[in-house]
Copies of this chain bind each other. A is one copy, B any other.
Amino acid sequence: MTFSTGRTSKVDVLIVGAGPAGLMMALWMAKLGIKARVVDKRADKVFSGHADGLNVRTMEILDSFGIGERVSKESYHRHEASFWNPDKNGIIRRDARAPTSQPDLSRFTWCLLHQGHIETFLLDAIREASMSVHIDRNVMPSALRIDEEQVARANAHDSKQSPGSEGTSKTDDDAYPIEVTLRHLSEDGATPMQRLSNLGDRLHGSDATDDNQAIFDCRSGAINRALELQEETVRARYLVGCDGTHSWVRQALGEGYEMVGETTDSIWGVLDIVPVTDFPDIRIPCTVRSASEGTVIVVPRENHLVRLYIQLKEVSTGSGAADRSKITSEVIFRTARRILSPYSLDYHYIDWWSAYQIGQRSGNRFSKLDRIFLAGDAVHTHSPKAGQGMNTAIQDTYNLGWKLGLVCKRVLRREVLATYELERRRIAKQLIALDQKLSQLFVGRPAKDILDETGVTMAEFEKASRMNKMFTTGIGIRYTPNLLVSIVEKRHESPPDDGSTQNMSDEDQQQHLALATNCQPGTRFASHRALCQADARPWELHHRMPSDGRFRIVIFGGDISRPPQLALVNSLGAWLSVSLQPRFLVLSMPGAASKFKAARDPSVIDVLLVHSAPRERVELLTDLHDVYHPFDDKLGWDYEKTFADGHGRAYRGYGVNDKGLGAAVVVRPDGYVGLVTSLDEVGRDRIGKWFEAILRRG
């Protein structure tokens, strides 16, 4: 092969892969104005097939970037599931219905929408946020080099500026220790067949064709036709591999980054069709277990589409190698038809089909030297049936993106980057454990063997589904104590994963947790409604907490129509404004197109007040400290920082006593609770220490 010598460029963050994980990463970069580049070997986004499930937490995350409603509007909304089993005559019957939405959990419900739409919305949001991110398609990496000495030098430089010391040199982090060679592909070589292609490209598992290899095969052909490849070198501060199951980045990292786990025997087919059927529950997610033909899982989608997962018994082999020649869309469809019999099943339109073997694997290491990170399918794979693939991928980089962005902006200490692996690896392991259990159930014996003592009972299946449910909503996720999650839960059970020094006595801890019983550190801060003090508008608090890279201290100020409580809140306000905020760097925002720009960049620590006094008994500008309505020379007072708990619902929702002394909840930029404490001097001290441990001095 011949390669033209290309240019060399620098970028803060290089992202490999423009799927949901890569684009979420890119979105954070755009929001924070970090110079980033996404490269993807595909020529375009995904147009059909692939992932489609968006759990409740992912919906909240998308909403925090302003695209939740757009997604919700186009999606199928899941509210109910049903379970079909054979009756004593072997005819499938609806055994049970179960509601799947939990109204108190979130204002969103589980949504189903094709991955391609999500990618479009993410791309739109990236473009809107800033011009700092470039997305290059038809490009893939071919060589990776990391200068470990440079990494060590930068770390040594950092550690000189220990927590508590002041001032920061502007040149302490000029390292670009990563060098990646990129190859620019032609249109032909870059687009793997996305539609109705043969099985080879689709089978998950170790024996599946490697897409990368396929592309280079293809390129070889191109070379033979005397085309020239463009090559370039990129130097980056950080590299994020969001490049899927066959991750090039992971493979380039080599030893220690192997995926560990198993491939199950069974083969599943997937069909995305607009069904023409008299099966009654075709618009409800359901599991249909036939007497002897296997199982179909029905997943309704947007736009009349339904996805069917079909167990392909005849092509499953004990040796783990499937006989691919036997698998066609026709075979898959006919199997589905037999399982759903006596109901009819037909289609006029097929959108996509595929087949896969379930592989349940994860990597033990999600990062290298806190400079290179792996996310999404690149570091954990599992069955698609729990609908967790796209969710976990998006949530991986949603966790990583703000940390990396704020480190690049020199606002956050680099030590915080270690929390990515700490937090997300545990979630991946939990997910795979759950998936293993669920997959066994799905591929368990045929229903006629259910009563066999070694088989799977209906009750067992439903129990596993229920257990699964809370975790799979994404709301059940809980990060264990670390630099960013300040709590010591009953120490004997789960010791902190890191050397966090923020220990409290158990007694103190219990007291502080009682301040806001529904705001547990490590879980996501929920959204409840409160009325804007200035204009009486009801707001979902999440809508005042967008993903903009800022930490937030939500002050539950209690009944501030009582003078002592008002004094407590204002005294805390003075401390926040005079002592805390100025200690750290401000958060410079990428230049928005708005003509209504603030005079100053905001503090990286935002303050929101939610009081429980009757709204009309509070005068925003005269009663409350400025920090609760910050002043800007150009824009005047900020009227959207102080809220009244109009109907008492917010305090109930967060578990705060509306007659008590209040509570302060520190919320991370990704919406997870970092710390819960009191409004008094003890609380101030804890808040101060929490931020000192992670933020650089201004």
Please indicate the chain B residues that have their CB under 8 angstroms from the CB of A535 in the complex.
76-77, 79-80, 283-284, 300
User: Taking the complex as formed, is A99 at the interface, i.e. its CB lies under 8 A from any CB of chain B?
Assistant: yes
- Does A348 belong to the interface (CB within 8 Å)? yes
**CB distance B284 to A636 under 8 Å?**
no
Whole-angstrom CA separation of A167 from B235 in the bound complex: 75
A348 in complex: contacting residue of B80, B300, B620, B634, CB < 8 Å: B634
- Interface residue A408 (Cβ < 8 Å from any Cβ of B): no
CB closest residue in chain B, given A99? B536
8 A Cβ contacts from A355-392 to B? none
A73 touching B69 by the CB < 8 A rule?
A: yes
Residues in B whose Cβ lies below 8 Å from that of A536: 79-80, 99, 284
- Complex: A534 Cα to B280 Cα, angstroms: 8
Whether A280 and B621, one on each chain, are in contact in the complex, defined by CB atoms closer than 8 angstroms, is yes
A1 proximal to B (CB < 8 A) = no
State which of B69, B97, B300, B620 has its C-beta within 8 Å of the C-beta of A280: B620
**What does the 1/0 interface line of A584-597 toward B look like (CB < 8 Å)?**
00000000001110
Q: How many angstroms from the CA of A159 to the CA of B537 in the assembled complex?
A: 55
Interface pair B595/A349, CB less than 8 Å apart: yes
Say which residue of B77, B594, B633 sits within 8 Å of A276 (CB atoms).
Answer: B633
Answer yes or no: A635 CB below 8 A from chain B CBs: yes
Tell which of B79, B303, B616, B621 touches A596, judged by Cβ atoms closer than 8 Å: B303
Residues on B with C-beta less than 8 A from A636 are 274-277, 282, 304
> A264-303: contact bitstring with B at CB < 8 Å (1 yes, 0 no)?
0000000000111110101110000000000000001001
| A99 / chain B contacts, CB cutoff of 8 Å | 536
Residue contact A304 to B69, C-beta cutoff 8 Å: no
Q: Give, as a whole number of angstroms, the nearest-CB distance from A405 to chain B.
A: 25
Measured between beta carbons, the chain B residues less than 8 angstroms from A621 are 278, 280
Quick one: closest B residue to A639, CB to CB? B283
Q: Which residues of B contact A69 (CB under 8 A)?
A: 69, 73
A147 within 8 A of B: no
Across the interface, do A304 and B596 meet the contact criterion of CB distance under 8 Å?
A: yes
Output the residue of A275, A596, A636 with the most chain B CB within 10 A: A636
Residues of B within 8 A of A622 (CB): 280
A616 to chain B, nearest CB (A): 7
Bound CA–CA A274/B69 (angstroms): 29
Across the interface, which residues of B come within 8 angstroms of A596, CB to CB?
A: 274, 303-305, 349
A95 within 8 A of B: no
Report the bound CA distance from A277 to B99 in whole Å.
51
Binary contact track A86-109/B, C-beta < 8 Å → 1, others 0? 000000000001010000000000
A80 CA / B280 CA spacing, docked (Å) = 48
The contact size tier of chain A is: 35 or more
A609-653 interface code vs B (CB 8 A; 1 in, 0 out):
000000010011110000000000111110100000000000000
- Taking the closest CB of chain B, its distance from the CB of A328, in whole angstroms, is 22
**Which residue from chain B places its CB closest to the CB of A619 in the assembled complex?**
B280
Interchain CB contact under 8 A, A594 and B303: yes
Interchain CA distance A73-B540 in the complex, whole Å: 12
Q: How many angstroms between the C-alpha atoms of A218 and B299 in the bound complex?
A: 64
In the complex, which of the residues A73, A305, A616, A637 has the most CB atoms of chain B within 10 Å of its own CB atom? Answer: A637
B537 near A77 with CB under 8 A, answer yes
**Nearest-CB distance from A596 to chain B (Å)?**
5
Restricting to A246-277, which residues have a CB under 8 Å from any CB of B? 274-277
A97 to B305, CA, bound (A): 51
How many whole Å from A647's CB to the nearest CB in chain B?
11
Give the nearest-CB partner of A632 in chain B. Answer: B276
**A344 (CB) vs chain B CBs: closest residue:** B636
Residue from A73, A276, A277 whose CB has the most chain B CB atoms within 10 Å: A276
Q: Which of A305, A596, A620, A639 has the most CB of B within 10 A?
A: A596
Write out, one digit per residue, whether chain A residues 321-343 have a CB within 8 A of any chain B CB (1) or not (0). 00000000000000000000000
Looking across the interface, which residue of chain B has its beta carbon closest to that of A538? B79
> Which chain B positions have C-beta within 8 A of A620?
280
Q: Is the CB of A274 within 8 A of B348?
A: no
A618 to chain B, nearest CB (A): 11
Which residues of the partner chain B approach A534 to less than 8 Å between Cβ atoms? 283-284
Some 10 contacts from A to B, beta carbons below 8 A apart, are A69-B69, A274-B634, A275-B636, A276-B635, A276-B636, A277-B636, A282-B639, A283-B534, A284-B536, A303-B596
Nearest 3 A-B pairs (CB), nearest first? Answer: A276-B636, A79-B536, A80-B536
Given A283-B639, A304-B636, 8 further pairs, Cβ under 8 A: A76-B535, A274-B635, A278-B621, A280-B621, A282-B636, A284-B536, A303-B596, A304-B596
